[in-house]
Amino acid sequence: MPLNLSPNIPDPDGFYDELLRAHDGLTADESAAYNARLVLTLCNHIGDREIIRAALEAAK
């Protein structure tokens, strides 16, 4: 299955609001650490190294 780069999140504005709220009260370092944990959690969920590799390239 190829990496899906098309909009795929229901209620993207609501999701973005949740993401921003997850960072409320965090310092810049804490926010960066939170983002790193989130990325690793989602990569673990995906589990497909080819998809993850494609996502790493797409994010550049």
The answer to whether residue 5 scores a pLDDT higher than 90 is yes
Instruction: Give the pLDDT confidence of 18-48 residue by residue, as tens digits.
Output: 999 999 999 999 999 999 999 999 999 999 9
Question: Cα(58)–Cα(17) distance, rounded to whole angstroms?
Answer: 23
Which structure tokens are listed for 12? Answer: 């993207």
For the chain, the structural domain boundaries read 26-60
